[in-house]
Amino acid sequence: MANKITDIAVFISCPGNLNELRGVAEKAIEEVSETLKVTHSYVLTPISWKEDIVPGVGTDGQDVINSQTIGKYDIYLGIMGAKFGTKTPRAGSGTEEEFDLAIHAYHKDPTKIRILFYLQAFGVNPFEIDPDELKKVQQFQKKLQKEGILYNELPNLDEALKNLKAHLLLLVNDEWDDAMTCWKTPISAHVSQVAQVMTHSSDVSSETTVDNPLLVPNDDSIEQLGLLDFMLIGNQEVVTASASVAKIGSNLEELTKATQERVTSIGGGNITNAADMARLVNIYSSDIDAFLQKSRGEMANAKYHLFRGCELIEAYYRQTTELNLPTSEAASGVIVAVDGIEPELKRFRNSVLEAQEWCW
């Protein structure tokens, strides 16, 4: 008896100028669907307003699109570049309106929908950028963060295809409840981070990091995934973690450079009195606070994705001793170092503030 095929619809939402990325998204959905059809009896069906929406009558064009998409997809896949899109009677652009409808549906019933969002970070001619459009995009980024969305930046077309495939595979494998033909509930913190897309959100604090990020799929789910697909997911997690660690390092370099500039700017680098020292301490304390604010989300991302990637790879190869693979044990030094950054800087800040009182 043939297995019943479950159809999971993916709505691709993006401005009309992103035809190339829309094509990449459709290709990713098609390739992931081929894998999931064999391993899980799932198929992913792309829905795009340019190809799948039938002309009709509504209060406006976007209303026609909405009438044919609302409640008819399981995954909202949004993409935005340097152009925000065309304003509608209800939102700043069609893409924003589609996102608003998707996030509203998610809050109403998280078992009905998952949201993935991506930003194009390549191929934009700076001389063709409309400052007003770019400002709207930047405001929309803040809106994504406010809604708790962890979005992913796509650096080029090859990485876009790779990331989209990895995220879709991981999302469906981890969160789709085949028995109920809906998304699993309740959604734990670590799974919702993956579902709402990885990396690059400065609004995520370490206080919201999962208590136990070592989410390892059970043996049955591991067996269902193909080797290359599973390695792709694990490798992508490690790459994502590496990017966050690199950002933390970059932020530390900025902090060091700012410190040197502060010292030079006060008294020409020759601080000889308590007033100048107190002024330097005040400024440097603010610099440390700014570093922590900027890096806290990256610390959470680095810890989560590094553990996740290493554990996924280890789980699949736990019986193999000949392969030289990254492990959570090998990564523990990085994790400990990341964990130590914030408390050490806070202790140092408190020390310099005590020194300020002494100076006075």
Tens-place pLDDT, residues 322-357: 445 555 555 666 666 666 766 766 676 666 566 555
Segment 7-13 mean pLDDT:
96
- Kindly state whether residue 233 falls inside one of the protein's structural domains: no
Give the whole-angstrom CA distance, residue 70 versus residue 64: 10
Distances (CA, A) of 203 to 55, 207, 261, 293, 298: 40, 11, 28, 9, 10
Q: Looking at 149, 184, 201, which one is the last position of a domain? A: 201
- Kindly state whether residue 237 falls inside one of the protein's structural domains: no
If asked whether residues 196 and 65 sit together in one domain, one would say: yes
| Long-range pairs, 314-318, Cβ under 8 A, ≥24 | 315/216, 315/217, 315/222, 316/222, 316/225, 316/227, 316/230, 316/231, 316/234
User: Which phi and psi angles does 214 have, rounded to 5°?
Assistant: -80, 65
Segment 272-294 mean pLDDT:
74
- Kindly state whether residue 230 falls inside one of the protein's structural domains: no
- Kindly state whether residue 220 falls inside one of the protein's structural domains: no
Who wins on pLDDT, 51 or 67? 67
pLDDT surpasses 70 at 302: yes
Interior/surface letters 85-101, b for 16+ CB within 10 angstroms, e for the rest: beebeebbbbbbbbbeb
For residue 197, the tally of other CB atoms under 10 A from its CB is 24
- Could you tell me if 297 and 203 are in contact, meaning their C-beta atoms sit under 8 angstroms apart? yes
pLDDT band at 161 (very low <50, low <70, confident <90, very high): very high
Who wins on pLDDT, 231 or 131? 131
Amino acid at 241: A
If asked whether residues 34 and 96 sit together in one domain, one would say: yes
pLDDT band at 220 (very low <50, low <70, confident <90, very high): very low
Chain center to CA of 208: 15
Indicate the range of 5-19, 35-49, 179-193 predicted with least confidence: 179-193
Q: Which of 187, 208, 209, 185 is nearest to 196 (CA)?
A: 187
The answer to whether the Cα torsion of 8, 14, 16, 21 is positive or negative is: negative
Q: Looking at 152, 183, 201, which one is the last position of a domain? A: 201
Q: What is the pLDDT of residue 24?
A: 95
Q: What is the pLDDT of residue 358?
A: 54
Q: What is the pLDDT of residue 338?
A: 65
If asked whether residues 131 and 253 sit together in one domain, one would say: no
Which class for 71: exposed (0-12), middle (13-18), buried (19 or more C-beta within 10 A)?
Answer: exposed
Count the domains in the chain: 2
If asked whether residues 136 and 270 sit together in one domain, one would say: no
If asked whether residues 28 and 161 sit together in one domain, one would say: yes
Give the whole-angstrom CA distance, residue 142 versus residue 273: 43
Q: What is the pLDDT of residue 356?
A: 55
If asked whether residues 162 and 276 sit together in one domain, one would say: no
All residues at 6 or more sequence positions from 292 whose CB lies less than 8 Å from its CB, including other chains:
342, 345, 346
Q: What is the pLDDT of residue 204?
A: 37
Query: What three-state secondary structure class fits 343?
Result: helix
Which class for 187: exposed (0-12), middle (13-18), buried (19 or more C-beta within 10 A)?
Answer: middle
Domain that includes residue 11, residue range? 6-201
If asked whether residues 101 and 196 sit together in one domain, one would say: yes
Q: What is the pLDDT of residue 195?
A: 39
Q: What is the pLDDT of residue 192?
A: 39
- Kindly state whether residue 221 falls inside one of the protein's structural domains: no
pLDDT surpasses 70 at 222: no
pLDDT band at 71 (very low <50, low <70, confident <90, very high): very high
pLDDT surpasses 50 at 187: no
- Kindly state whether residue 266 falls inside one of the protein's structural domains: yes
The answer to whether the Cα torsion of 111, 113, 116, 117 is positive or negative is: negative
Q: Looking at 180, 201, 222, which one is the last position of a domain? A: 201
Give the whole-angstrom CA distance, residue 162 versus residue 159: 5
pLDDT surpasses 80 at 7: yes
If asked whether residues 171 and 48 sit together in one domain, one would say: yes
Distances (CA, A) of 265 to 258, 278, 360: 10, 14, 21
If asked whether residues 333 and 262 sit together in one domain, one would say: yes
CATH number of the CATH domain containing 18 = 3.40.50
pLDDT band at 22 (very low <50, low <70, confident <90, very high): very high
pLDDT band at 312 (very low <50, low <70, confident <90, very high): low
pLDDT surpasses 70 at 223: no
- Kindly state whether residue 301 falls inside one of the protein's structural domains: yes
Who wins on pLDDT, 133 or 243? 133
If asked whether residues 56 and 178 sit together in one domain, one would say: yes
Helix ranges restricted to H, 85-226: 94-108, 131-146, 157-175, 189-195, 219-224
Q: What is the pLDDT of residue 315?
A: 57
Give the whole-angstrom CA distance, residue 78 versus residue 211: 29
The predicted-structure confidence for 110-159, as pLDDT tens digits, reads as follows 999 999 999 998 887 777 788 899 999 999 999 998 888 888 889 899 88
Chain mean pLDDT for the chain:
76
- Kindly state whether residue 137 falls inside one of the protein's structural domains: yes
If asked whether residues 36 and 121 sit together in one domain, one would say: yes
- Percentage of the chain exceeding pLDDT 90: 31
Segment 284-305 mean pLDDT:
73
pLDDT surpasses 80 at 32: yes
If asked whether residues 170 and 248 sit together in one domain, one would say: no
The predicted-structure confidence for 77-115, as pLDDT tens digits, reads as follows 999 999 999 999 999 999 999 999 999 999 999 999 999
pLDDT surpasses 60 at 316: no
